[in-house]
Amino acid sequence: MPDPNPLQGLYPQPQQQQSSLLANPVGTVSSILQLQQLQRALAAKQAVGQAFQGAIGPDGNFDPNAAFAGIKVSPAAAWGAPEAIGSILDYRGKNIANATAQLGLGLTNNEGAARITAPYAALGRPLTQEEQYNLKAQLAAAGINPATVQAADLNGSIKAAKAATLGAIQTMGPAAAATPVTGAPQPGTGAPTQVPLSSTIGAGARVTGTPPGTEVSATAMQNDLLREANYGQEIYPLKAALSSLQALGPGGIGPGTEGRNKFESFLNTIAPSLAQYLPGFDPTKIKNYDEFTKYVTQATQQRAASMGGAHTDAQLATTLTGSPNNKINDLAAEDVLKANIALRNMQRVQTLEAAQAGPVGYTAKASTFAGTQDPRAYLVPYLSPA
Amino acid sequence: MPSALTSLGGAPPAPNPVPQPPAQPQASALAGGAPQAPPSQLQIPPAPDHQQTVAALRHFDAIENALVALLKDPAVGKSDLRSSAIDQMTKLVARGIMTPATAVTQLSDFPDKPFDQKMWLQGHLQQTIQGATMVLAHHQAAFAGQDVDTTPPSPDDHQNAISGLISMYKGNGQNA
């Protein structure tokens, strides 16, 4: 059907009625609710954003724990908390990666941390969970940020530190990397060593001095070895005294024998031809008695001298009391002589064995040796046949 | 799932190697004229040593792994995860991380509604992360720069180590 009035379009048309609040009340309420939700969502996003922003530290690292705390205390963030916490889990993963990289850099630049990590890195395999817990506790005690230590994957950190070390070596060039520097002294001997510079990068502080106590240990070893140089001179009087005592036989020495021997020696000196007719007189015994006395006195003097330092009357008296002499029973004197010889031999073995550990470990080795040996074993060569 | 900090007797105090002066006593205590505890009884608890710190890290790490496993479940917040939570708790008990009695107590606190379960898991994950960091910080504050005994503790003795740690922090709670 054709338009009845083609010119109608040229006339002004009445204005269409604008949609008002009353035109569609249901749609209006829905729009208001949507607007409110949008506003709440925007406020929540802003609050969550502020919490996240406050969780970024001065060093630029994100702390998810601080973000959690910020969301918890902000009422506006409650609307978006579930989604935000879901994001925090993602950030937690990223934070682990950041902490791992940060700790790896710290292991390269922090000597204390590098020294702690070096034994673990030298294992050449991924650390077990238990090893990681141990290392984390040690790194925290070394002053590394606990949050970083807690979040970091230590296997990744060690790998990053090794990569940084390798990069440093490559940067310095092969010639500089091979430059010899002072290394750790040889264990035991304490002899100085040299290592290439590349091996010291990322390994923390280098131990170039000798361990504590080395000087004392070395001095003790030298003194003991000097004494062993005189072993023959020390042991001869003891063995000679033992031989003389055994030659004297039962009752050869003891209380009163000194006067008798002096009397017999006097007679033998002034009238040897007459003395031989006296009952019980034996010139050989006079000789053995005097030799015994001479050698035990010599041995006692050497014992006193071996004590070193300034001697006192009390020290000498103690040495005399503890040494065999002609005033004690012959049976006791023989046992004491044998014990002295055995102990001296044990001391010699101890010195020579401990000296093999070198000056650094001499005292430690000597102290260990003494506890593992039975002095009675050194008496065996001097025991009488059963 | 367990509350990591609750199982350790609550969150450890902020690390502070210098004992703080005691807090202001309550007015009722002053009014009653009750003898006040000497300052020495209001000290922060002793810091965990190396062995206790390692045990705490092992404890928190095991719980964190269990919580993360549940949170990564696509059904979290939508379906009931109680059976999965029981499975994770059983694993913790089997590893000796938690005693059966503690596990039952903690499971009784697990919500019924899926959304509440998700919030519960997220909250406990937050506490677990904070707990591990705080124990490390407490250990650092007390032992930084010192030559400590770093003998690794045996995982077989985990329960004893954790019990000692709980007693240590609970002791503080009673005194403070």
If one counts the domains in chain B, the total is 1
The residue among B136, B143, B157 with the most chain A CBs within 10 A of its CB, best to mutate, is B136
At residue B66, does pLDDT exceed 70?
yes
Residue A262 shares a structural domain with residue A116: no
Q: A213, exposed or middle or buried, with CB in 10 Å at 0-12, 13-18, 19+?
A: middle
Which two tokens mark A135? 């290392």
A191 is a domain residue: no
State which residues form the domain around A329: 214-382
If one counts the domains in chain A, the total is 2
State which residues form the domain around B139: 49-144+151-176
Predicted complex ipTM: 0.73
Interface of B with A (CB under 8 A): 50, 53-54, 57-58, 61, 68, 71, 77, 115, 118-119, 122, 125-126, 129-130, 132-134, 136-137, 139-140, 143-146, 148, 150, 152, 155
B122 is a domain residue: yes
Q: What are the tens digits of pLDDT across the range A302-345?
A: 666 665 545 666 666 666 566 676 667 666 777 777 878 888 88
Average pLDDT over residues A255-265: 70
A208 is a domain residue: no
Query: So what's the pLDDT on residue A83?
Result: 61
A296 close to A324: Cβ distance less than 8 angstroms: yes
Encode B101-152 in three state secondary structure: HHHHHHHCCCCCCHHHHHHHHHHHHHHHHHHHHHHHHHHHHHHCCCCCCCCC
Answer whether B50 sits within 8 Å of A147, measured CB to CB.
no
Residue A313 shares a structural domain with residue A378: yes
Q: Angle A323-A329-A334 (CA atoms, 0-180°, nearest 5)?
A: 60
A-chain residues within 8 Å CB-CB of B67?
none
A17 is a domain residue: no
Which two tokens mark A36? 């409110």
Q: Would you place residue A32 in the very low, low, confident or very high pLDDT band (cuts 50, 70, 90)?
A: confident
Lowest pLDDT segment from A61-70, A198-207, A259-268, A275-284: A198-207
Q: How far is B102 from chain A (nearest CA, A)?
A: 23
Q: What are the tens digits of pLDDT across the range A100-155?
A: 777 766 666 666 777 777 778 777 788 888 888 888 888 888 888 888 878 888 77
Residue A160 shares a structural domain with residue A289: no
A143/B contact by beta carbon, under 8 A: yes
Q: What are the tens digits of pLDDT across the range B97-156?
A: 888 888 888 888 899 998 889 888 888 888 888 888 888 888 888 887 777 788 888 888
Q: Which of A92, A129, A137 is facing B50, going by the closest CB pair? A: A137
Query: So what's the pLDDT on residue B11?
Result: 44
Answer whether A82 sits within 8 Å of B118, measured CB to CB.
yes
| Bridge partner residues of A182 (DSSP) | A194
Concatenate the DSSP letters of all residues of chain B into one string: ---HHHHTTSPPPPP-SSPPPPPPPPHHHHHHTPPPPPGGGGPPPPPP-HHHHHHHHHHHHHHHHHHHHHHTSTTTTTS--HHHHHHHHHHHHHTTSS-HHHHHHHHTTS-SSHHHHHHHHHHHHHHHHHHHHHHHHHHHHHHTTS----PPPPGGGHHHHHHHHHHHHHHHHHH-
Average pLDDT over residues A189-215: 66
Indicate the residue among A170, A203, A237 that finishes a domain: A170
B120 is a domain residue: yes
Indicate the residue among A170, A194, A227 that finishes a domain: A170
Residue A266 shares a structural domain with residue A365: yes
B32 is a domain residue: no
Q: Would you place residue B20 in the very low, low, confident or very high pLDDT band (cuts 50, 70, 90)?
A: very low
Residue A62 shares a structural domain with residue A159: yes
Answer whether A146 sits within 8 Å of B137, measured CB to CB.
yes
At residue A20, does pLDDT exceed 60?
no
